[in-house]
Amino acid sequence: MAFAGLALLAGCSSVPDSFPVPPQRRDAPAPRYSHLRSFVSMSDWDAAEYLVQDVSAHAGDNTWRWTFRHPGLRFYLTSTERLKFVMDFAIAERTFEQTGPVILAIFVNGKLLERKRCQQPGPHHLEYAVPPVMLRPNAVNNVRIEADKVWISPADGTALGFILVRAGFTN
Amino acid sequence: MPAAFSILFGALFTVAAATALGKLLTRGLALELSDQEDDLIAFLTGAPLLSSLVLALCALGLANAGVFLAAGTAILAFAVRRGVYRRRGTALPPLDPFWRALLLGLGAVFAVVYVANAMAPEISPDGSAYHLGVVSRYLREGGFHRITTNMYANLSQGGEMLFVFAFAFGMHSAAALTHCAFLFALPLLMVCYGRRFGFPIAAVCGALLVALSPVIGSDGTSAYIDVALAAAAFALFYLLQIWDTSRDRSLWVPIGLLAGFLYALKYTGGLAVPYALGFVLWKSYRKRTPLLPPLAVIGTLAAAMMLPWMIKNWIWVGNPFSPLLNTVFPNPYVTIGFEQEYLQSLRHYDLASAREIPRAVTIRGSLGGLLGPVFLLSPVALFALIRRAGRQLLLAALVFGLPFVANIGCRFTIPALPFIGLAMALVLTNVPGLAPALIAIHAVLSWPGVIPRYADPGVWYLRHVPWKEALRIRPEERYLRANLQHYEVVRLIEQATPPGARVLTFTPIPEAYTTRDILVDYQSASNHQAGQILWNPLMPERAPTWQLVFRFAAQPLRGLRVLQTAAARDFWSVTEFRVFSSGRELERGQTWRLRAKPNPWDIPLAFDNSLVTYWSSAEPVRPGMFLEVDFGRSEIADSAVLVCSHDQWGVRLALEGHTAAGLWTPLGAGPEMHDLPPISLRRAAVDELKHRGIDYVLIFDSDFGAIDYKARAEEWGMVAVGETGGARLYRLS
């Protein structure tokens, strides 16, 4: 009986029902962002995770997004060797009418990688080798693209840059 | 020889205090025992009483030499005052001179071997690791404290309580010598049994078969508990046999105490309780005497011996039978998966077939001990069934041998061995000249110098007669360094770490010789989790690179649940569970509540934003397991992402949402699966260990990952602070 009573009591003992969210770890080496990849397409379900600033929150046709004045992206790199920065984008005819040829300056982790001159509207592709010293392994790497001219909406002053389709680092 | 004196004092004081308590009991109950029986029964029935006293002192935080000295002295003084040492003048029938000479002659020779080994520095694997590791900790801390990182600390510890008493005066060897006292008591009691019940020659023969057996020698001279268990089991059997003839109700008291004490010594000894109750009830039923009184007395006293251990475990680790029965009493300290694997390994060791067992335990010694080749003849014991005594002995052998089915370690035959030995002897002594010849062969084959000639290398046996070490003429340190595996590692830990340091190791070490907190990987769920965190960065299949994305129509939800729907041998684990809306992760809010089944305690690890910690089912998957997040309010969500490791091929998952209507409904199709790039988690792993209060890691060269820890110590965040005996001690920086 003693066994049975104890077993009954212990069987009813405190298996917790639920737990609150624990303190979030932020001191580990970028664990928060390590689920990021080195490349993103605007059609990716988690594309928003790669956008740092000045890129539209909503994708047009689920495949592209407008950029604004100082678009910024982030990528997680495990290695820094033999990487190229690649970007597919487009200059809209409507904005090109106002801006004319546009020069895009690509900054990686704050340092200028290259400049790309876009002479006409339509799709563009750029691809530049990135010196390893510009990159951080096992860490988030930031890319900023500065256009020398943006289209300004006469109606509300909104600044539109180029149309981003995909970007990132590849071998 | 102050050290040798303190060892002898510690052991003899313990035995004397136990015997005094036992004599107070046997004389108080006016048990009709001969003088020879009384001395032995008093020791064996006093041991539970002294054990209980020490248990109470440990619970009160009064476990120290001063209190033990006062208590022991008071017990002895009271016993003297009550005149319990006066001889009664009753004696058992005398022994045949030849057998008496054989018993005394062989007994004396082996007694020297046994005492020398028991008094020598303690070098047994389990004794130096956990039996005395826990004992020394209790004495350092003045008694019990909640220990959740060492499953051995939550076994019943009736034997260890006696060791605590002895250790307080004579350290490790005093504890081993106390166990050795049971080794001496056992064969003497077997002889008494034969003398009382009319087969003294068979009893001497059986006693020598048991006492000379190598495993009895090596176990009984160490700080183990198996020989104590055998002695207590035989004392219980003995008292039951006396009661069966005398029907003396006073015997119910020592019977109840011993039955409960057997559980307190070792869980497997718990079989003594149904055995004793069944025996008394059956015999009472046959004689048409009342059943309730013996049931009440024996049951109550047995419970009094057992319950403290259950209650201690229930309060501290949520499982009265920890580390077993975790399915019935789930708790965060020992996982169900570990228990299953552990018990499975104990059932098979490394044997290919059960047919290897007889040879393994009698000749090879490959199951952690050696009975001796003579025990290959043990089937002849079945012929003893024609005698009443034989039937009683074989019934007891069956009961106390049952645990061997669950653990085929040779030590698990020890509690049954006295009964088997006596039953064998009942048969063998019927053939003139056979028994002395067999005893002589057994003695030769059990002699330390002979065993290596037929047993496997590495067999556990007494190799020397280390009398100089026993008397501490030769320094203890040298003997330990030469004979105790990993002793030098323990010394390194003592020298290179500060007091209170916590050291994680994958390999058990002689904890009884260190004052640091040693966390052995397999000895608790939290230790194992820490070990896995340290291993995972080296194992691609354990890397959190498997991303499962559940996409569904954006909608307001009160919660999400991931269901596991398959049955497989894999464990299910989730490193991170994230919820998204329009590609943005929902912030894990204060209103969120997290649930999991099974292993609810670890669910926060899937929501802590760390890639080195994870929730695990901690047991093979079965349908119905789930992880759940309750938002505590309505949240718009359109996807859930699990970050997992790949080593769970049998897992099948489905997502459910808790709608505003209060219903759980399936969401979307199965998950999209992506591979994430692997990243180095070495530094993060060490940071997590430090976060858990682990200061040092001990890595042996044979441990998994040893090369990587050494070669990339800086990347890990480890600093080697010492190296010896094939092991490196790293400080986590």
Question: How confident is the model over B223-242, as pLDDT tens digits?
Answer: 999 999 999 999 999 999 99
pLDDT tens sequence across B172-200: 999 999 999 999 999 999 999 999 999 99
| Residue in B576, B583, B594 closest to A19 by CB | B594
Chain B CB contacts of A33 below 8 Å: none
pLDDT at A30 over 50: no
Question: What does the angle CA B399 – CA B403 – CA B405 come to, to the nearest 5 degrees?
Answer: 110
Chain A CB contacts of B328 below 8 Å: 7, 10-11
Measure CA B272 to chain center.
18
- Its ipTM equals 0.84
What percent of chain B has a predicted confidence (pLDDT) above 70? 100
The residue with greater pLDDT, A10 or B153, is B153
Confidence (pLDDT) at B2: 80
Chain A CB contacts of B307 below 8 Å: 2, 6
Q: How many angstroms separate the CA atoms of A55 and A68, rounded? A: 6
Tell me if chain A has a CB within 8 Å of the CB of B545: no
Chain A CB contacts of B610 below 8 Å: 25, 28, 31
| Residue in B303, B610, B676 closest to A2 by CB | B303
Contact A19 B593 (CB under 8 A): yes
Question: What does the angle CA A70 – CA A74 – CA A77 come to, to the nearest 5 degrees?
Answer: 150
* Dihedral pair phi/psi, residue B699, rounded to 5°: -120, 120
Sorted by where each starts, the structural domains of chain A and their CATH numbers stand as: 29-170 (2.60.120.260)
Contact B609 A34 (CB under 8 A): no
Cα distance from B590 to chain A (closest Cα, Å)?
7
Q: Which of A11-15, A111-115, B204-208 ranks highest by mean pLDDT?
A: B204-208
Give the count of beta carbons closer than 10 Å to the beta carbon of residue A110: 8
pLDDT at B727 over 70: yes
Tell me if chain A has a CB within 8 Å of the CB of B586: no
Query: What is the rounded end-to-end Cα distance, in angstroms, of chain B?
Result: 45
Residues 13-52 of chain A whose Cβ lies under 8 A from any Cβ of chain B: 13-29, 31-32, 34-35, 37-38, 45-49
Q: Which amino acid is at B444?
A: V
Cβ(B580)–Cβ(B641) below 8 Å = yes
Average pLDDT over residues B556-566: 97
Cα distance from A1 to chain B (closest Cα, Å)?
9
A29 confidence band (pLDDT: 50, 70, 90): very low
Q: How many angstroms separate the CA atoms of B163 and B170, rounded? A: 10
Average pLDDT over residues B67-84: 97
Chain A CB contacts of B630 below 8 Å: 18
Q: Which of B463, B493, B507, B481 is nearest to B121 (CA)?
A: B481
Q: How many angstroms separate the CA atoms of B330 and B321, rounded? A: 11
Tell me if chain A has a CB within 8 Å of the CB of B604: yes
Contact A2 B576 (CB under 8 A): no
What percent of chain B has a predicted confidence (pLDDT) above 90? 92
pLDDT at B269 over 90: yes
Average pLDDT over residues B702-722: 93
Measured CA distances, B610 to A24, A28, B588 (Å):
8, 7, 14
The residue with greater pLDDT, B203 or B668, is B203
Q: How many angstroms separate the CA atoms of B239 and B248, rounded? A: 10
Can the peptide bond before residue B598 be classed as cis, meaning omega within 30 degrees of 0?
yes
Give the count of beta carbons closer than 10 Å to the beta carbon of residue B502: 17
Confidence (pLDDT) at A61: 75
Cβ(A2)–Cβ(B323) below 8 Å = no
pLDDT at B461 over 90: yes
Tell me if chain B has a CB within 8 Å of the CB of A171: no
Confidence (pLDDT) at A58: 79
Contact A10 B320 (CB under 8 A): yes
pLDDT at A21 over 60: yes
Q: Which of B294, B287, B249 is nearest to B273 (CA)?
A: B294
pLDDT tens sequence across B562-595: 999 999 999 999 999 999 988 788 999 999 999 9
Query: Considering Cα of B522, then B527, then B529, then B530, what sign does the dihedral take?
Result: negative
Contact B584 A49 (CB under 8 A): yes
pLDDT tens sequence across A118-170: 999 999 999 999 999 999 887 789 999 999 999 998 888 889 999 999 999 99
Confidence (pLDDT) at A28: 46
H/E segment holding residue A154: none
The two three-digit tokens of residue A56, written as one number: 């539209």
Average pLDDT over residues B85-111: 93
Contacts of B538 (CB under 8 A, 6+ apart): B704, B705, B708
Contact A22 B582 (CB under 8 A): no
Confidence (pLDDT) at A8: 55
Q: How many angstroms separate the CA atoms of B601 and B432, rounded? A: 66
Average pLDDT over residues B592-618: 96
**Which pTM value belongs to this model?**
0.85
Give the DSSP per-residue string, A105-142. Answer: EEEETTEEEEEEEE-SSEEEEEEEEE-GGG--TTEEEE
Q: How many angstroms separate the CA atoms of B640 and B264, rounded? A: 50
Angle between helices B158-197 and B2-28 in degrees, nearest 10: 60
Identify the three-state secondary structure at position B205: helix
Residue of A nearest to B672 (CA): A45
Average pLDDT taken over every residue of chain B? 95
Confidence (pLDDT) at A27: 47
Contact B595 A18 (CB under 8 A): yes
pLDDT tens sequence across B477-513: 999 999 999 999 999 999 999 999 999 999 999 999 9
pLDDT tens sequence across B277-320: 999 999 999 999 999 999 999 999 999 999 999 999 999 999 99
| Residue in B307, B547, B608 closest to A22 by CB | B608
Tell me if chain B has a CB within 8 Å of the CB of A11: yes
pLDDT at B272 over 60: yes
Q: How many angstroms separate the CA atoms of B224 and B412, rounded? A: 12
Contact B604 A45 (CB under 8 A): no
Cβ(B701)–Cβ(B689) below 8 Å = no
pLDDT tens sequence across B391-436: 999 999 999 999 999 999 999 999 999 999 999 999 999 999 999 9
